[in-house]
Amino acid sequence: MKRLLHFIAITALIASAGYAYSIKYETLFYVEQVAKLKSKVQRERDALAVLQAEWQFLDRPDRLQAAADEHLDLQQMKIQQLARLSDLPNRPSREDEIGRKLEALGLLEPTATPKDKTSDARTPSTQTPKR
Amino acid sequence: MPLTSQPVHDLQQKRAPRLSILGHLRELFRMRVDKSTARVGLAAICFAGLFCVIGGRLIYLAVTSDTSSEMRRVTSSEISAARPDIVDRNGEILATDVKMVSVFAEPRNIIDKDEAVELLTAVLPDLDASDLRNKLGTKKGFVWVKREITPRQQAEVHRLGIPGVGFLPENKRIYPNAEAAAHVLGFANVDNVGIAGIEKYIDSQGLQDLNGAGFNITSADLKPVELSIDLRVQHALRDELQKGMAKFKAKAVAGAIMDVNTGEMIALVSLPDYDPNNPVDALADDRINRINVGVFEMGSTFKALTTAMALDSGKFNINSSLDARAGLRYGKFTIGDYHATHRVLTVPEVFIHSSNIGTARMALGIGVEGHKAFLRKMGQLTRLTTELPENAEPIVPGRWGELNTVTIAFGHGLAVAPLQALMAVGALTNGGNLIKPTFLKRDAATALATAVPVIKPETSEAMRYVLRLNASNPAGSASAAAIAGFFVGGKTGTAEKVIHGRYSKNKNLTTFTAVLPADKPKYVFLTIMDEPQAISGTYGFSTAGWNAGPVTGDVIERVAPLLGVPPRFEPPAQPFPLMSRLGAWGTR
């Protein structure tokens, strides 16, 4: 009986020690992982800072102005061209103005399609025919 | 003896515990203090000692963190610290940190110093060999070889494989917009310590103390500093001023835009300026920030202050008339008008004709003490301190007699920083609240909490009226800046420069102050030109109406849409109700 108890106690001791060691090594592993990720995050952050600075460097107003002057054929904006959204008139009610004109001219009937496909019935081409 | 007694004990024990399982357990944990006290005591002492050692080690580990190695401690004071980003009011980056690698050496660990010097100078050709040899010859534990090298140089130095030479990542401050906001930002040196401008201000807010105490700060921990500057406006202002400087061949030009309701500086430019990334000539005399480091006699711009003082005192009103028929004699001096009218003028007429005589009479009506007290109230006689560490004290006459009051009334004899004058004009137009200018973003409520009411709202309306009249009336001097659609008001100022103690006749300092829109001011503009020349289009004139005025007009035309001021082509219905009720000159 006593021997059994000793055996159980020793086994429990070894098992718990083993478990503790496995936990410890796992912790070490994760700590390393965390450190790696941290340094990776830091590297990404640094890269981000560099890219942000570069973006601002490329996006700086005097460079944009120089580029616009060189490559674009735009005029200086006039104050008269400015308007607020509230200054715009409301959208007019939609109506078919072209249709009304056609109706007034009596042309609203369906178009007669030409039956024969000879050359003069075709739409005139914009290209010079070959001779 | 113990050998013989042991079996006896065992026998006795074997008999006793058979009683119960509880007895077994008790037997297992019983300490035989009765028999082997000495041995147990010894073991107890051993264990106590062991635990003490373990506990001590634990405390040691907890107190000294694992990262504080020798090298780390030496370098933490050497490498440049992180600084917070600086962004403009829209979040555009004005200054940021990037990581750069620097080479260092530990002279104690370098075996062959001459060889190391030879190899290093071969890879980094711009190093001075004898200087480096001297540095490596010292007994220091740490010296810099070269700061901020390129990744390629780093690879080459790494390939040399010299023991005792290593790399450290450092923060380098960069200003992506180069010159755009140089005078506001200032700059930081190679150790990332702020030397001027907002950079120095950030340090004075406790950043350097934290670094000094050994806190390892990264830029991610620091909140960006939000300035009131608008980068787009700043650039537009600089560009227009640069054009004006070239056109009028001026020695220097400066300009500023302030929000009158919050005191925020939207833009501040002083030309010539410098590149904060390479601030070699930043401290040269002609590169000073003319807006808040230079002090100038502001010329006729100061008449706005005199007029406001006269109207606010109650001794004058908008319809008071002032005799400008002949020059004002004072002792051996005679005060004359540049645009002489030779008649009796009302207050608005005095303002738009920029009559020295009329303005001097107003000041004399108030008296020396009243004049002094008003200017002190407007913050013109004391040093104005903002976030920028650079500032200047106004040059106030030592003995302020009546003659001083006469000349100061029209802007001669008192030199102030232009930022001070701008602050005063802001107070004259915004309803009478003197708000200290700031370079940090803030809202109107916070600004109003610190504002000091200096003049009555009615006086403020009168000032807006005369400023607008000066731009809208054909006789006024500010018509060059009266951009259609923005209801601009303004005042020119031309001060003759003092050369060798005398006022020079042909060297001018011209200023222009504009308020936009005049009926409900939002922004004030200030332009200063140092020695602008008369050019072909100006008919030989070099006064403010011909140079600073049109330049400010160009600035307003370009900047007002950026500032979100909507153009109105019909003038407001009742911009100055009180003035029209009083029937002021020019309302009918």
Q: What is the DSSP string of B142-161?
A: -EEEEEEE-HHHHHHHHHH-
Same domain? B211 vs B132: yes
* pLDDT greater than 90 at residue B62: no
Contact yes or no for B102/B91 (Cβ under 8 A) = no
Asked whether residue B36 is domain-assigned, the answer is no
pLDDT higher than 50, residue B3: no
Rounded to two decimals, the pTM is 0.77
Q: How far is A99 from chain B (nearest CA, A)?
A: 39
Cβ-defined contact of A56 to B232 (cutoff 8 Å) = no
Share of chain B above pLDDT 90, in %: 32
- Mutation for testing the A interface, residue in B65, B148, B171, B235 having most A CBs under 10 Å: B235
Domain of B431 in residue numbering reads as 253-274+291-582
- Phi/psi of residue B132, nearest 5 degrees: -65, -40
Side chain identity at residue A104, one-letter code: A
Report the distance separating Cα A75 and Cα A60, nearest Å. 20
In a domain, B59, yes or no: no
pLDDT at B57: 92
Q: Catalytic one among B300, B460, B472, B542?
A: B300
CATH code, B520: 3.40.710.10
B267 to chain A nearest CA, in Å?
A: 14
pLDDT at B421: 92
* Minimal-distance CA residue of chain B relative to A41: B220
Q: Output the six-digit token pair for B398.
A: 């030592």
Looking at beta carbons, which residues of chain A come within 8 Å of B93? Answer: 52-53, 56
From CA B511, how far away is CA B496, in angstroms rounded? Answer: 11
CATH of the domain at B185: 3.90.1310.10
- Chosen for mutation from A79, A82, A87 (greatest number of chain B CBs closer than 10 Å) is A79
Whether residue B143 is contained in a domain is answered as: yes
Residue B296 located in a structural domain: yes
B353-357: long-range contacts (C-beta < 8 A, 24 or more apart)? B353/B324, B353/B475, B354/B300, B354/B303, B354/B477, B354/B492, B355/B322, B355/B324, B356/B328, B356/B409, B356/B410, B357/B322, B357/B323, B357/B324, B357/B327, B357/B328
Which chain A residues touch B28 with a CB distance below 8 Å?
A: 2, 5
> How many interface pairs between A and B have CB atoms less than 8 angstroms apart?
67
In the residue annotation, B504 being an active-site residue is answered as: no
Of the partner residues B97, B231, B567, the one whose CB lies closest to the CB of residue A79: B567
CA B208 to chain centre: 17
Residues B204-261: tens digit of each pLDDT: 887 666 665 555 556 566 788 899 999 999 999 999 999 999 999 999 999 999 999 9
Q: Using 50, 70 and 90 to split pLDDT, how confident is the model at B528?
A: very high
Domain identity same for B520 and B381: yes
CB B463 within 8 Å of CB B427:
no
B418-463 tens-digit pLDDT: 999 999 999 999 989 999 999 999 988 888 888 999 999 999 999 9
Q: B366 with B309: CB under 8 angstroms?
A: yes
Residues B518 and B476 in one domain: yes
Task: Taking residues B54-78, report their average pLDDT.
Answer: 69
Cβ of residue A52 closer than 8 Å to a chain B Cβ: yes
Which residues of A are less than 8 Å from B239 in CB distance? 62, 65
Both B208 and B266 in one domain: the answer is: no
B412 and B470: one domain?
yes
Name the residue of chain A whose CA is nearest to B97's CA. Answer: A49
Instruction: Indicate if B410 and B348 belong to the same structural domain.
Output: yes
**pLDDT at position B236:** 93
- Tell me if A56 and B96 make a contact (CB, 8 A cut-off): yes
Q: How far, in Å, CA of B169 to CA of B410, rounded?
A: 58
What pLDDT band is residue B483 in, cutting at 50, 70 and 90?
Answer: confident
Q: What is the b/e burial string over B381-404, where b = at least 16 CB atoms within 10 angstroms of the residue's CB?
A: beebebbbbebbebebeeebeebb
Whether residues B312 and B353 fall in one domain: yes
Distance between CA atoms of residues B263 and B59, nearest Å:
54
Chain A within 8 Å of B561 (Cβ-Cβ)? yes
Q: Give A53's contacts in chain B (Cβ within 8 Å).
A: 93, 96, 98, 174, 176
Residue B74 has pLDDT above 90, yes or no: no
